[in-house]
Amino acid sequence: MFEGLILFGRSIGGFLTAESILWALGASLVGVVIGALPGLTATMGVALMTTLTLKMAPAQALLVLVCTYVGAIYGGSRSAILLNIPGTPASAASCLDGYALARQGRAGYAMGIATTGSVMGTLIGMFFLALFTPLLGNVALKFGAYEFFWLATFGVVISGNLTGDDPLKGWMAGALGLFLATIGQESVYAFERFTFGTRELAGGLSLVPALVGAFGFAELLMVMRERRPPVTLSALDSVIPRLRDLWKYRRTIVRSGCIGTFIGIIPGVGEDSAAWTSYAAAKRASVEKALFGKGSVEGLMAAETGDNACVPGAIIPVLTLQIPGSAPAAVLMAAMLIHGVRPGPLIMVESPQFVYDVITMMLFAVIGILIYGLVLTRFLVQVLRARYQVIVPIIFVLCAVGSFAIAARLFDVWVMLAFGVLGFALRLLNYPMAPLVLGLVLGDLLEKSLRRGLVLSDGDVTPFFTRPISAFLCALLVLIVLSRFIRWRPRANRAV
Amino acid sequence: MRSDAAQGVAWALGGGLIVYASWAMDRLERHGAALYTAPGLVPGLLGLVLVVLGVALALRKRGISACSPAIRWGNTPLVLALCLGYAIGLIGRMPFWLATFVFVTAFIAIFEYPSRRRMALAPLYGAATSLAVSNLFEAVFLVRLP
């Protein structure tokens, strides 16, 4: 307990420099702007910023990425409230009551509630991050190759199950991601697979250019598909949150914060599920059920608290298991590996300080979104008037040059382009992107764990099914898959 | 290609190709590799998963989305042509700053048509982007741009 506080204090001391504060505030603003612009997601923001922070010191680079991530999830609420268009999928639930409040002339008040909910959600998530990471780290020390194989599989399957309208297509996207991760030399014999004699593919597909393509380029193609009508914005009232709202909805805040964090911990689920689940739970428990969907402050508070609490939650399995809880967390994990940080079961043994560094980074992000939420409201409203005809080519230049900068080779730009076109085609055909990303990121772990497990058991597959944790994960997976085959209905309310 | 059935067949065929390629892959038995350590094991299993899921997609009955509505392409072909033209045709064949200037200016001018005032601003955006990105990467990040 006290050791944790000392480490946390040391982290705050380390980051309390003018340079870090400026990076944190700048990155939070970039995140909020990216999140506010419909069509550009947190995953894209983190992927793009990963390429821009390659040459920075690891601590500063990760500070920028964490602040971008938190800022983008928060920023999505701006367009949800003012335009009824979720800036990111995570803000889809906020449209229901946020836009209704704006139509009642209370857009500023709704944004204040969104800011309060996001700040409280992130703080609750940070608390659980500090609490659970050491505990989960201890449990993870008992995991072997068999358990990691099932965890990686579980992450991809559950992501496919929950992140789109159609689980079958989600699983296919996940399997495709896992397959793409096998391209290049395999780890045991350095045998080249599916490289077709291309030297550049021998080392495998570069993860960051692939992610920049699948999220950056593909999203640009999606937003440019149609010309958008001119933006009409509601008038703003006061954005200053009221303390009595905080007190009145304290139970909703705590409940949504807990739900958001726990959904974040589940590998591959993500912020949009956290927001919807928190919203549904708030509606069930509310005495003002009839107001939900018609401008319920409680509904908006629940959705915003839930999605932002999911961010620290999604980082817990990254730190302890090297399994991301969401698509942006997957990109963040890739960035950690690039910067030489090795998350995983040993993190509390080898570098416990890093866990508290991440919590401090989140604290800086919270301060950033609080400032922007209260002070820069009118600027952020103007951001929504930004012309995509101008933004898109600039972002594409960053996608291209960022992909090139990683290894100074044009081949990575082509990888970005290929994944952009692939991601665009899959989106058009209603395949979710999150499982593809999870597959790409977890493919290596899945393959290594499977082959290591088989070598350890001399080809015997029974340990995969008989060890207690493996058996539990396997049974859970079978149940999830079977439940989809037995009751196969599209979810109608996920307008993401 | 839009119906689930056609997509399912395409996935199953793709998965089948992966299975075949994995099976035909060198199993490195001369190096003492067992079947369960063969390089093609994991991609082969994933190909099999794609075949099964593809068949399931092709065979299932889902009233409302069995055949998706027609895809609206809108500006996509033009955007794609401009972006691919920049990334494949311009980068590496001329100085980066010039390629970026040409791309950003052309992109904005094309999509701002017919507003002459906004089209006139396109070269300004192009020059500013080219200058900012080139300097950021070369002077700050010390990356040698193509």
Q: What is the DSSP letter of A225?
A: S
- The reported pLDDT for the residue numbered B51 is 97
Q: Specify the DSSP element, H or E, that contains A295.
A: none
* Cross-chain residue pair A179–B47, CB shorter than 8 Å: yes
Q: From chain A, pick out residues whose CB is under 8 angstroms from the CB of B68.
A: 429-430
Q: Among partner residues A186, A390, A401, which is closest to B133 by beta-carbon distance?
A: A401
A425 is a domain residue: no
Dist. CA A140–CA A350, nearest whole Å? 14
- The reported pLDDT for the residue numbered B63 is 53
A438 is a domain residue: no
Sign of the Cα torsion A44, A205, B145, B120 reads negative
* Cross-chain residue pair B129–A171, CB shorter than 8 Å: no
Residue reference for tokens 């003492």? B32
Q: Which of B22, B83, B129, B142 to mutate to test the interface with A (most CBs of A within 10 A)?
A: B83
pLDDT tens per residue, range A140-181: 888 999 999 999 999 899 888 877 778 899 999 999 999 999
Domain that holds residue A322: 2-147+206-414
Q: What is the DSSP letter of A242?
A: P
Report residues of chain A scoring pLDDT below 50: 492-496
Dist. CA B39–CA A185, nearest whole Å? 9
- By the CB < 8 Å criterion, does A197 face chain B? no
Does residue B34 register a pLDDT over 80?
yes
The model's confidence at residue B21, banded by pLDDT at 50, 70 and 90, is very high
Q: CA angle at residue A7 from A135 to A315, to 5 degrees?
A: 50
Dist. CA A91–CA A84, nearest whole Å? 10
Distance from CA of A182 to the nearest CA of B (A): 7
- The reported pLDDT for the residue numbered A235 is 60
The model's confidence at residue B22, banded by pLDDT at 50, 70 and 90, is very high
A448 is a domain residue: no
What is the distance, to the nearest Å, from the Cα of residue A77 to the centroid of all Cα atoms in its chain? Answer: 15
Q: Among partner residues B79, B107, B142, which is closest to A221 by beta-carbon distance?
A: B79
Q: Among partner residues A193, A387, A490, which is closest to B43 by beta-carbon distance?
A: A193
State how far the alpha carbon of A347 is from the alpha carbons of A136, A305, A321, A356, in Å: 11, 28, 9, 11
A487 is a domain residue: no
Q: From chain B, pick out residues whose CB is under 8 angstroms from the CB of A226.
A: 72, 74-75
Quick one: residue A270, left, alpha or beta (phi over 0 = left, psi -120 to 50 = alpha)?
Answer: left
What is the distance, to the nearest Å, from the Cα of residue B7 to the centroid of all Cα atoms in its chain? Answer: 18
- The reported pLDDT for the residue numbered B119 is 92
Rounded to two decimals, the ipTM of the complex is 0.91
Largest CA distance in chain A: 69
- The reported pLDDT for the residue numbered A107 is 86
Cis peptide before A86 (omega within 30 of 0): no
Dist. CA B63–CA A173, nearest whole Å? 22
The model's confidence at residue B64, banded by pLDDT at 50, 70 and 90, is very low
Q: From chain B, pick out residues whose CB is under 8 angstroms from the CB of A191.
A: 25-26, 28, 39
* Cross-chain residue pair B36–A454, CB shorter than 8 Å: yes
**Chain B residue closest to A183 (CA)?**
B43
A201 is a domain residue: no
Dist. CA A317–CA A343, nearest whole Å? 9
A179 is a domain residue: no
The model's confidence at residue B142, banded by pLDDT at 50, 70 and 90, is confident
- Tokens in use for A328? 């942006």
Q: Which of A224, A228, A461 to mutate to test the interface with B (most CBs of B within 10 A)?
A: A224
**What stretches of A228-274 adopt beta strand conformation (E)?**
none
Q: From chain A, pick out residues whose CB is under 8 angstroms from the CB of B137.
A: 401, 405
Q: Among partner residues B31, B56, B83, which is closest to A189 by beta-carbon distance?
A: B31
- The reported pLDDT for the residue numbered A14 is 92
CB distance A283 to A99 below 8 Å:
no
A218 is a domain residue: yes
Chain A from 348 to 387: CB within 8 A of any B CB: 387
| Per-residue buried b or exposed e for B28-50, using 16+ beta carbons within 10 Å of the residue's own CB | beeeebeebbbbbbbbbbbbbbb
Q: From chain A, pick out residues whose CB is under 8 angstroms from the CB of B75.
A: 224-227
Domains of chain B, by residue range, sit at 4-59, 76-140
* Cross-chain residue pair B37–A455, CB shorter than 8 Å: yes
Q: What is the DSSP letter of A193?
A: E
Q: From chain B, pick out residues whose CB is under 8 angstroms from the CB of A417.
A: 83-84, 87-88
State how far the alpha carbon of A161 is from the alpha carbons of A154, A169, A343, A386, in Å: 10, 9, 26, 35
- Tokens in use for A117? 């909910």
Other CB atoms within 10 Å distance of the CB of residue A378: 10
Q: Among partner residues A175, A393, A405, which is closest to B53 by beta-carbon distance?
A: A175
- Neighbouring residues of A385: CB distance < 8 A, sequence distance ≥ 6: A231, A233
Q: Which amino acid is at A111?
A: M
Q: Among partner residues A52, A389, A393, which is closest to B103 by beta-carbon distance?
A: A393
- Tokens in use for A466? 């008989």
Q: Which amino acid is at A190?
A: A
- Tokens in use for A198? 């291309």
| Per-residue buried b or exposed e for A450-488, using 16+ beta carbons within 10 Å of the residue's own CB | bbbbbeeeeeeeebbeebeebeebbeebeebeeebeeee
A468 is a domain residue: no
Report how many domains make up chain A: 1
Does residue B62 register a pLDDT over 70?
no
Q: Among partner residues B75, B108, B143, which is closest to A390 by beta-carbon distance?
A: B108
